[in-house]
Structure 1
Amino acid sequence: MTRETAEPATPPTPAKRPAYEPATRLLRPTGYDPAMRRPGTTIAGVGLLALRVITGIFVIVEAILTHPSSLEVTVDGESFGTTLAVVVTAVVLLVDAALAFFIWLGWNWPRVVVMFGSVISVSSSFVAWWSSGQEFTVKAGLAAIAIDVLVLLALSSRSAAAYARRGEKPPPVRA
């Protein structure tokens, strides 16, 4: 008596993307699909932006509660209980929240602005480390750098770009 053994069927492997893609392929317009569902990368990017806003609020509150005397600004003999740094940080947090909302709606320009800001943030942190040997700890910038890198990864993905540009009609084909 012989036994026939069939080899298990191997599932087909998806085609791998090359490690390097020419700019012409990367800049190719995405498909026109106004009904496209919001991808996970966009959700993750907005969630990380919300996390950045929340941590910024905690930093402002901690600065006010732990160093109230250093937050006093005296102008012409009058003392004010806030500093320019706290006000600027609050404005930046409001702008971040607004940009996150617009990204959630699927707008492209806020996604690009946030990615540009994250690149500037990570690059300036690198320059500070390189030029002055500034050390990074979780409390002194490492968490912010990590969030910026994750925001860049999420919002620069093909699916996030396709979602943000889903309503753009392709240019007319010329013969």
Structure 2
Amino acid sequence: MTDRHRKRAALEPAVSLFEREAELAPPSRRPFSVSGGTALVVARAAGTALWSVSLLREWGSLQGDLDLEPGESGVVLGVLLGVQGLWMLLLLMLAWMVWRGGNRARLLVMFGATASITASAVAYFATGEEITVRTTLLTLALDILILLALSSRDARAWTRRRRD
């Protein structure tokens, strides 16, 4: 097993992380973790599209629960779908930038996934919101997998080698 693929000790000092990265040559080819992370970000964007379709299907009952007038209903639905569309486009753009080796895009995707996971945890613990397949389980699982893929040592070294 090469030094680059050696597992790190749980209590490894942070200083050793920077020393080893300088010693190791970043991989010249795109690591699988970057390819997989990009695919997961695209899947996350597809999940956003599926959520929007689900919102359209359930809008009739939601409109009644929210006590919206017909004119207000169209505006609220349009705003929600517009925000979802912008979010999906942003995810696809970030996926492309991560695929090309953008370190800032990789960090932004990881920050977004962390914020999404934190929001789900707060909603679960503070308000008792259930985590189900129909609500947040799929997006939560994808966010966790994105974090695991893009925070790998190979992904970090490869994207730092290729400047934004």
Give the TM-score range, shorter chain: 0.7 to 0.9
Cα distance in 2 between the residues matched to 1:103 and 1:73: 42
The residue aligned with 1:58 is 50
Equivalent of 2:120 in 118, 121, 125? 125
Query: When the two structures are superposed, what TM-score results if normalisation uses the length of structure 1?
Result: 0.75
- Map of 2:30 onto structure 1: 38
2:94–2:109 CA contact under 8 A, matched in 1: yes
% same residue:
34
Name the CA shift for 1:73/1:95 in 2 (closer, same or farther; >3 Å).
farther
Q: 1:45 to 1:72 in 2, by over 3 A?
A: farther
Q: Distance in 1 between matches of 2:70 and 2:28?
A: 51
Deviation digits for residues 106-127 of structure 1, max 9, x if unmatched? 0100000000011111111111
SS in 2 for 1:134: coil
Structure 2 residue runs of 5 or longer lacking an equivalent are none
How far 1:62 sits from its partner (Å)? 2.8
- SS of the residue corresponding to residue 161 of structure 2 reads coil
For the pair shown, which has the larger CA radius of gyration, 1 or 2?
A: 1
User: Residue 153 in 1 paired to residue 148 in 2?
Assistant: yes
Q: Mark the CA change 1:106 to 1:16 in structure 2 (over 3 Å): closer, same or farther.
A: closer
Asked if the contact 1:73/1:81 (under 8 Å) is kept, the reply is: no
Contact 1:103 1:110 in 2 (8 A): yes
| Paired position in structure 2 for 1:162 | 157
1:82 deviation in Å?
A: 3.9
Between Structure 1 and Structure 2, how many residues are aligned?
Answer: 153
Distance of 2:56 and 2:18 partners within structure 1? 46
